[in-house]
Structure 1
């Protein structure tokens, strides 16, 4: 029994020593945390300042403004105010005191009558009330006028929203920004880009790029200040183009309609429009079409591609100018390729083949180029790969061939697909003395006078002589009495143009759609043809109404006014 007591006393002593040591460690740790403000050698004050920064600490957020090429704003932050009334409060004396006086005063500034406001204020169940749509999106002037009334219990709250100067202005390219759900703990309204340029450059516009860089350098701020963006879009031309697009879209009701204007010696995108479109401020119509067609819509290009086919065959010296071929049809393995009029134009030169848009002539040229080499040429022109536009969800198009027939058909624009951006970049080769330029919509980021725009060459694809030859051939396509681009003839300026009428693939049943309007109509044009300054690319898919006109005649209703307006406003 004595031995047992000794052991128990020994165990109790060990537990007591352990408890004392544990308490001592805790006391030292407590002192380190609360008095010295350190942990494991780290200054907790500094740590809190440097590592606990989050969106809830942002008290000021201003998104950068998007400007057009002349410095006019397209999208900018705007502050508006909403109003509510505190009727009862257990923690504040700032409540409505005289409902009659308050209703009479607010009726002067809100789109509500005195009696309507009085009904809202006489709510005996609510502690605070709002005033519906009449009490939101109030201007700073209205806010100041209400504050001047000195009404107890009337509270005005500010909020930031994105203001777009024009209802429709290259809407899918510009995109839109809305309050970020991830930043709802912030004291400031932080806007987040959703599509288009607003999304592509969200880090720069929101200020996140600068904020993160400063944070990495140990600089911390409660402000999120975005950078301004200057685009290449020319505001007057853009607005004029939108009006033209509305007229044609509303009259002919196509499934899709696109129009783009490019400055040839710089690659600057001066105007871009598509239908369907949406209202920038209200986003009305966005549910109809979310895609930004210039980089997200990939279609078979049709006969506009023939200018590249003829150009490469000429560059490689694969035919003589006076050499002829028999048009109408040609056997390609187990298939027959026909010209669009089925019987052709007899024996014609290859240049005349472009004028008449002969599929047969292009098959002969691709055969001479060689199938493998022709595919390499298409790749060299950027097809089947991203243009690196930086715009969201860009399509690379489709450039994969299952058989040699498909490769030969690609020479007249079938069996592969491309976006408008890919096509325009490739076609700059013809209008820019053989040099292919990158199409750019961004001029610079930063101050207005700090432009850092640089022309980006994508390589010399053909000689200036070959480019001139193709331009002259395209002029013939416009000016020849039987030229397929005849609707684009202009009395005031010489036009070089090539049209396209592509069949539309039947996604459900395979093959192509067979309806009378199931075509993709397009045109690429350069002007003035003697020394091209501009390139226009227009396309239209499946017009519901034609009123007896063909696709080129409909697109010409956009083309001619746009040409004249761009030359007047250059």
Structure 2
């Protein structure tokens, strides 16, 4: 069947329309896709711009922060970083040892240990642990068990365990024992030289003696260094300066001799106990330069256990307490009178036993009948009346000036701590009253320290020079080479050598024929003077029945060099005098001195004639 032309035309037209519609749809879809793609591209661009903006602003912020950290705060932050990475360390430096003149150790730092116990870590029962360590530590087993059961951990058993005990405990290999090492000052001679050494407290600071006065010499100069730390906090020793842990081997050497020190303490302790005395002291000085070879006081203390001692013992009374010397000052008054030419060695004085001065009656310590005495015999018999007459020949101002030249009323220039000034009346008070020179002539009415009396007698022993008493020789190394020697004041010439020797020879008669016979040693020429003085009261006047006995010696007479003083405070008994209490102490000390210094015997001299014979 054939289609009509109109129908064919209609169909072609429909086809054309469809194709056109299809083409328009394609074009519309293409435009839609184009718009979609264009929108997506725009979105991508916007996102990129946003991201770039964020990066730019972040970069600017980071740059500003870097600028702030590195430029503005850079120095401060670098310092903080260094402080975090570095640490200041000052290594522990042991205190320098103290030795005597022969290098015998008197004080030294030694390691000790704090022992903590932790019972919860014991691998044995508390009873078994206690039985193992009790004999080593000299402790009671039951006490240790009670301590172990009181706490599970962290019990301090002792804070000063010696190294030898530590080694024995370590060898047991017990769990639950913790040892912490530290250093402690140790005095191997115990109380032998405590009066000179003093002690060191828990803060390692000297509190008395040369431990206190020579702190700067005893403390080693520790170098503070900065070390780097690793990330875990460990120190990096590779960055430490070379030799920063080096410690010198210097020792503080004293002039003391431990043999003399021991002899003096033994003799002094015996007499103090025998006469039930309050206290006593001994001083030995080499008068050529003022070196103190021995200085002992009794009672004393053990510096290893200073916490148990009486506080009053930490102050050395031979240096820090005043007393009236009594008759031991008479030889110095004789020297003053001889030096001024108001007496001659062979002058003779009448001694009726009493003498009136102003409104006072002055008596001798012992009653004696009327007799004549020369200068030496006035010393032998310790005549107060004779001494008053001698000093009365001096004008008061001149006498006072001489007392000041000797150093009365002043401090002794010494390296021992806590020294005090002596007491002397004012010049106006002294010169305006005749009683003041009179009482001073036999050692009363003024006060000084025992050390100062030894210094003054040293001027008689060394040819008239006032030297500086001292105990410090210097800093010495292991080879004996001195690295530091203290500068002492130049000795002052007080008396002529002739006057000094004359007085020493007069003092020899005190030992040979007078009140000092108890100090005699066969074959040796010893000069001396006894003293039995009333004890002054802090409230004025004198303490009834209380006295201070003393004896001072100079030897050897043919070539004087050494001064030895023994002093005993408040000995009890009717026969307690300088010649009975103090002179035997001096004899024992001199016997030791002769051996130590190898002093040869001397030649005897003819005694000074007695005018009464």
Any conservation in 1 of the 2:199–2:211 contact (CA below 8 Å)?
Answer: yes
The 1:323/1:106 distance shift into structure 2, 3 A limit, reads closer
* Structural mapping, 1:42-61, within 5 Å: 57-61=89-93
Partner in structure 1 of residue 406 of structure 2: 381
Q: Do residues 535 (structure 1) and 563 (structure 2) align?
A: yes
In 2, Cα distance between equivalents of 1:488 and 1:104: 57
The one of 286, 301, 307 equivalent to 1:263 is 286
Q: Which residue of 2 aligns with 1:245?
A: 268
Assess, with a 3 A threshold, how the Cα gap between structure 1 residues 345 and 206 changes in structure 2: closer, same or farther. farther
Q: How far is 1:479 from its partner?
A: 2.0
Matching residue within 117, 126, 130 for 2:152: 126
2:533 aligns to what?
502
Cα displacement (A) at 1:513: 2.1
Compared CA separation, residues 30 and 279, structure 1 to 2 (3 A): same
1:535-557: CA deviation from partner (whole Å, max 9, x where unpaired): 111111211245x4533112232
- Distance in 2, Cα, partners of 1:362 & 1:213: 64
Give 1:330's aligned residue.
355
The counterpart of 2:508, out of the listed 475, 483, 486, is 475
Give TM-score, length-normalised by structure 1: 0.79
Corresponding position: 1:461 with 2:494: yes
Q: Aligned pair 1:34/2:59, yes or no?
A: no
Structure 1 residues 213 and 241 mapped into 2: Cα distance closer, same or farther (>3 Å)?
Answer: farther
Confirm whether residue 407 of structure 1 aligns to residue 420 of structure 2.
no
Match of 1:14 in 2: none
2:521 to 490, 512, 529: 490
Is residue 519–residue 584 contact of structure 2 (8 Å, CA) maintained in 1? Answer: no
Distance of 1:104 and 1:343 partners within structure 2: 74
State the Cα distance separating 1:225 from its structure 2 match: 7.4
Counterpart in the other structure of 1:197: 210
CA contact (8 A) 1:488 1:560 kept: yes
Change over 3 Å in CA distance of 1:214–1:319 after alignment to 2: farther
Per the alignment, residue 219 of structure 2 pairs with 206
Distance 2:142 2:225 in 1: 54
Distance 1:334 1:213, change over 3 A: farther
Cα shift at 1:364: 2.8
**1:299 counterpart = 2:323:** yes
Asked if residue 564 in structure 1 is aligned to residue 597 in structure 2, the reply is: no
**Cα distance between partner residues in 2 of 1:520 and 1:243:** 20
The answer to whether the aligner puts 1:393 opposite 2:393 as a matched pair is no
Classify 1:87/1:350 alpha carbon distance in 2 versus 1 (closer, same or farther; 3 Å): closer
Distance 1:475 1:396 in 2: 30
More helix by share: 2
Partner of 1:83 in structure 2? 115
Q: Does 1:273 align with 2:273?
A: no
SS at match of 1:245: helix
Matching residue within 471, 478, 497 for 1:441: 471
- Map Cα deviations across residues 7-41 of structure 1 (whole Å, 9 max, x no partner): xxxxxxxxxxxxxxxxx999965433113x39xxx
Report if aligned partners of 1:62, 1:225 keep a CA contact under 8 Å in 2.
no
Shift in CA distance, 431/112, structure 1 to aligned 2, threshold 3 Å = closer
Once the two structures are TM-superposed, the CA of residue 173 in structure 1 deviates from its matched residue by 1.6
5+ residue gaps in structure 2? 1-66, 227-240, 598-613
**Is residue 252 of structure 2 the alignment partner of residue 229 of structure 1?**
yes
The DSSP-based 3-state class of the residue aligned with 1:415 is coil
CA shift, 1:424, in A, is 1.0
Which digits, 9 at most, give the CA deviation of each residue in 1:122-169, with x for residues without a partner?
55x5333344xxx55333344344445544443111122111112221
Q: For the residues of structure 1 that align with 2:69 and 2:359, how far apart are their CA atoms?
A: 89
Q: Quick one: structure 1 residues 86 and 223, their matched pair in 2 at CA, closer, same or farther if it must change by over 3 Å?
A: farther
Name the structure 2 match of 1:349.
374
1:430-477 CA distance string (max 9 Å, x none): 111222222221111232523447776522222221112111111122
TM-score after normalising by structure 2 = 0.74
Contact preservation (8 Å) 1:68, 1:234: yes
Match of 1:71 among 97, 103, 110: 103
Aligned partners of 1:265, 1:385: CA distance in 2, in Å? 22
Structure 2 match to 1:8: none
Q: Take 2:141 and 2:360, find their aligned partners in 1: how far apart are those partners? A: 80
Q: Distance in 2 between matches of 1:368 and 1:115?
A: 79
Using the TM superposition, name which of 282-291 and 382-391 deviates more: 282-291
In structure 1, distance between residues paired with 2:368 and 2:124? 89
Largest Rg, 1 or 2: 2
Deviation of residue 497 (structure 1)? 0.8
Q: In 1, Cα distance between the equivalents of 2:361 and 2:135?
A: 78
Structure 2 CA distance, aligned partners of 1:290 and 1:262? 22
Are the structure 2 counterparts of residues 344 and 220 from structure 1 closer, same or farther at C-alpha, using a change threshold of 3 Å? Answer: farther
CA RMSD of aligned residues (A): 3.5
Contact 2:531 2:577 in 1 (8 A): no
- Contact 1:263–1:535, Cα closer than 8 Å, also in 2: yes
Cα contact 1:257–1:539 (8 A) shared by 2: yes
The answer on whether the counterparts of 2:339 and 2:496 sit within 8 Å (CA) in structure 1 is yes
- Counterpart of 2:541 in structure 1 is 511
The answer as to 2:172 corresponding to 1:139 is no
1:187 corresponds in structure 2 to none
Contiguous gaps of at least 5 residues in structure 1: 1-23, 39-43, 89-94, 181-190
